[in-house]
């Protein structure tokens, strides 16, 4: 299908995993974890998973403005340990984060710990073995781990997101190695996330959102949906999160509900839209929570409402909701956003190029590899 002449530079190294690992790390191509050598045979096998030609530009990766060709993405997918079957999802991830509204330049250069969080919906989720239940965000599944890792390596090796040199994140975070999971659609009392974003139920969709970390919110006391939503709102509205630093009408944020939490809220009659409204209302933080010396700065930015509260967002639809995680967990998880990014969802297919935006992207004006 997509097999063709590869143009990437070839290097020779001894047939020793440790030697390959050392070469990758010495050249700054890796993330500190062992890698799979991207031999021509392995890269060609990856290319078999898509009809797109190797030279097709999937996206332009900021801040370096590198052209992420199918071949370059395949090389990084092999390095990350991807099976060829997941390669269409990796291509979708690159497409999603290189959309202008995702604002990858800001995410890759910020002092914050922001990173893409990837969520899969639709038939590909099951076909690829994407974990959506217990430990779906970590140490449970090759597909989850390697899809997210492949994207991060593309961001590093094509986009130039080198820690300290370009990426100025104070701390980074474990999610900057990989953060990928599936929505547990079968346990959601509402329409699947991708359907609510306008896609057909039978479409495979990858969603990229922004996460500065994973904020666990636990509650074993609430017996009603209303009380639980109050706990969730106050688990989100802490004043030191990065969303407070940007205009309230910028950026959206994703809240993951475990199945039991979702069931309790839906049992009491809440639609997703009503959940969003409750979170919007419940995260209007009284200005008294801030040190008094900061009040003038909040007021100067126009963040303070007439009732003396500081909203976390300008609209309820900036609070996104999905269902994942193990049952009987009594936990939700919030991805606090960097604030200057918008969640992007793109369709993809494991069978053909439909939804793959087959026309090549416009190449960068200045040279980039």
Question: What's the pLDDT score for residue 311?
Answer: 96
> In this structure, what token pair is assigned to residue 43?
């890269």
Asked if the bond preceding 63 is cis, omega within 30° of 0, the reply is yes
> What is the pLDDT averaged over residues 26-41?
93
* 5-9, 20-24, 187-191, 296-300, range with the lowest pLDDT: 5-9
Strand, coil or helix: 259: helix
* 134-138, 251-255, 268-272, range with the lowest pLDDT: 134-138
pLDDT at 171 over 70: yes
> What is the pLDDT averaged over residues 222-243?
96
- pLDDT-derived band at 230 (thresholds 50, 70, 90) equals very high
* Domain ranges (residues) in the chain: 13-189, 214-335
pLDDT at 44 over 90: yes
> CA Rg, the chain, in Å?
21
Q: What is the DSSP letter of 361?
A: P
Strand 204-211 and strand 115-121: pairing? Answer: antiparallel
Return the sign of the alpha-carbon dihedral for residues 132, 320, 345, 65. negative
Cα separation values, 224 from 27, 96, 189, 237, Å? 55, 37, 16, 20
If you write DSSP's letter for every residue of 54-101 in order, what string do you get? TT-EEEEETTTTEEEEHHHHHHHHHHHT--GGGHHHHHHHHHHHTSGG
Q: For the beta carbon of residue 240, count every other beta carbon within 10 angstroms.
A: 8
pLDDT at 167 over 90: no
Q: Long-range CB contacts (< 8 A, 24+ apart) of 294-303?
A: 301/247, 303/244, 303/248
**Separation of alpha carbons 278 and 236, rounded Å:** 12
Length of the chain in terms of residues written: 369
Cα separation values, 52 from 21, 69, 87, 187, 305, Å? 29, 10, 11, 35, 51
pLDDT at 362 over 90: no
> What is the pLDDT averaged over residues 294-304?
95
Question: What's the pLDDT score for residue 368?
Answer: 28
**Separation of alpha carbons 83 and 92, rounded Å:** 15
Q: What percentage of the chain has pLDDT greater than the value 70?
A: 94
pLDDT in tens, 315-333: 999 999 999 999 977 999 9
pLDDT in tens, 254-263: 999 999 999 9
**Separation of alpha carbons 21 and 52, rounded Å:** 29
Tell me the H-state helices in the chain: 17-26, 40-47, 70-80, 87-97, 104-109, 123-127, 142-157, 193-196, 225-236, 259-267, 272-282, 295-300
pLDDT at 363 over 50: no
């Amino acid at each position: 299908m997509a097999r063709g002449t590869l143009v990437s530079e070839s290097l020779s190294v001894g047939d020793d995993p440790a030697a390959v690992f050392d070469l990758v790390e010495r050249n700054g191509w890796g993330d500190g974890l062992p890698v799979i050598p991207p031999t021509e045979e392995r890269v060609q096998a990856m290319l078999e998973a898509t009809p797109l030609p190797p030279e097709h530009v999937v996206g332009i990766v900021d801040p370096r403005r590198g052209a992420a060709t199918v071949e370059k993405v395949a090389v990084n997918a092999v390095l990350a340990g991807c099976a060829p079957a997941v390669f269409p999802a990796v291509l979708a991830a690159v497409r999603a984060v290189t959309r202008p509204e995702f604002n990858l330049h800001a995410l890759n250069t910020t002092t914050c710990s922001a990173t893409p969080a990837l969520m899969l919906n639709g038939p590909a989720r099951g076909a690829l073995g994407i974990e959506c239940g217990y430990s779906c965000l970590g140490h449970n599944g090759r597909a989850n781990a390697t899809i997210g890792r492949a994207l991060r390596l593309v961001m590093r090796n094509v986009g130039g997101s080198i820690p300290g040199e370009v990426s100025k994140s104070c701390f980074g975070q474990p999610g900057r190695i990989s953060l990928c999971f599936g929505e547990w659609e079968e346990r959601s009392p509402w329409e699947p996330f991708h359907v609510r974003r306008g896609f057909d139920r039978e479409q495979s969709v990858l969603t990229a959102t922004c996460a500065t970390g994973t904020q666990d919110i636990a509650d074993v006391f609430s017996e009603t949906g209303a009380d639980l939503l109050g706990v969730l709102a106050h688990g989100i509205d802490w004043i030191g999160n990065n969303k407070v630093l940007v205009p309230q009408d910028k950026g959206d944020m994703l809240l993951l509900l475990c199945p039991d939490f979702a069931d309790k809220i839906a049992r009491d009659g809440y639609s997703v839209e009503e959940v969003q409204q409750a979170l919007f209302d419940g995260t209007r933080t009284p200005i008294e929570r801030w040190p008094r010396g900061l009040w003038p700065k909040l007021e100067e930015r126009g963040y303070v409402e007439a009732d003396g509260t500081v909203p976390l967002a300008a609209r309820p639809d900036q609070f996104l909701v999905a269902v994942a995680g193990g049952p009987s967990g009594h936990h939700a998880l919030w991805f606090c956003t960097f604030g200057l990014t918008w969640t992007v969802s793109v369709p993809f297919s494991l069978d053909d190029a439909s939804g793959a935006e087959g026309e090549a992207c416009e190449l960068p004006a200045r040279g980039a590899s």
